[in-house]
């Protein structure tokens, strides 16, 4: 299947990163690098689609409590699953996103209103650059992409937008994709999940008539300022994205060459 010939009803923001133009004008190969949300809500009709995509390796960026509270991923074909938890207790918005997606009542609603703001989301993105588990997880995912035995590679968190989004940024940057194209892919989440967001918000309104929609939307969306916060942190701490890859994630020139050899046409 080519880049745009498939979709997953139970994972509406799932997509193939193939087709984007990378280093030396070479395109990312279709069907090898797939970003998704958690796959526990796939429909029966989705399963043959995923089976045709035939992932060899699935990278799960969720931490243990998220995985335990969610429906198990539905993974036809028995791919290797690698858990690379990217989580920090100081940033509980991950917990809020998971609770929203699973339809849980939010006991800490006041905390959501306080901590689920755009400023809090931007803080998470800065943490993606400096946090120990973030650097460890994103670096390990890159090393998996350097091994052709792990392709096609699927990677996901809960919503498939923040941790998954930053890993996509890292992978596509390594592949030499233009920054504008990387940003456009990142922002596609909002377009692909319009209906899902409204369903979630309406369900919450019914359970909590006092719901402040403006306090919830920031954790359901991606926004340019979130991505900019991560880029600014890269510049502040490392000076350049190349230095972040090298010093923050342990990416060598050999690793970059291997990833490009595997994933570029």
d(CA 112, CA 45): 35
Contact 39, 50 (CB under 8 A): yes
d(CA 215, CA 233): 25
By the 10 Å C-beta count (0-12 exposed, 13-18 middle, 19+ buried), 5 is classed as exposed
d(CA 200, CA 157): 18
Whether cis (ω within 30° of 0) applies to the bond prior to 134 is: no
For residue 74, give Cα distances in angstroms to 29, 43, 58.
25, 9, 11
By the 10 Å C-beta count (0-12 exposed, 13-18 middle, 19+ buried), 44 is classed as exposed
Q: Is 157 a catalytic residue?
A: yes
DSSP 8-state symbol, 56: S
Q: Which of 157, 249, 251, 263 is catalytic?
A: 157
Q: Hey, which residues are catalytic here?
A: 157
């Amino acid at each position: 299947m080519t880049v745009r010939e498939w979709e997953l009803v139970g994972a509406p923001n799932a997509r193939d990163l193939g087709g984007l133009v990378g280093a030396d004008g070479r395109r990312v190969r279709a069907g090898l690098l797939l970003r998704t949300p958690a796959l526990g809500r796939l429909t029966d009709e989705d399963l043959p689609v995923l089976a045709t995509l035939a992932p060899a390796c699935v990278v799960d960026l969720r931490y243990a409590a998220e995985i335990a509270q969610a429906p198990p991923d539905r993974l036809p074909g028995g791919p290797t699953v690698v858990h690379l938890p990217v989580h920090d207790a100081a940033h509980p918005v991950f917990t809020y996103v998971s609770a929203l997606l699973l339809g849980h009542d939010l006991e800490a609603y006041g905390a959501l209103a306080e901590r689920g703001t755009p400023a809090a989301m931007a803080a998470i993105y800065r943490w993606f650059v400096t946090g120990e588990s973030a650097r460890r997880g994103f670096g390990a995912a890159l090393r998996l992409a350097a091994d052709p035995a792990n392709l096609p590679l699927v990677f996901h968190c809960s919503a498939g937008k923040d941790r998954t989004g930053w890993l996509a940024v890292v992978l596509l940057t390594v592949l030499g994709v233009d920054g504008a194209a990387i940003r456009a892919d990142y922002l596609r989440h909002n377009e692909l999940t319009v209906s899902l967001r409204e369903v979630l918000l309406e369900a919450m309104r019914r359970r909590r008539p006092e719901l402040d929609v403006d306090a919830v939307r920031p954790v359901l969306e991606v926004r340019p300022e979130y991505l900019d916060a991560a880029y600014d942190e890269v510049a502040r701490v490392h000076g350049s994205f190349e230095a972040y890859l090298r010093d923050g994630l342990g990416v060598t020139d050999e690793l970059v060459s291997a990833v490009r050899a595997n994933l570029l046409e």
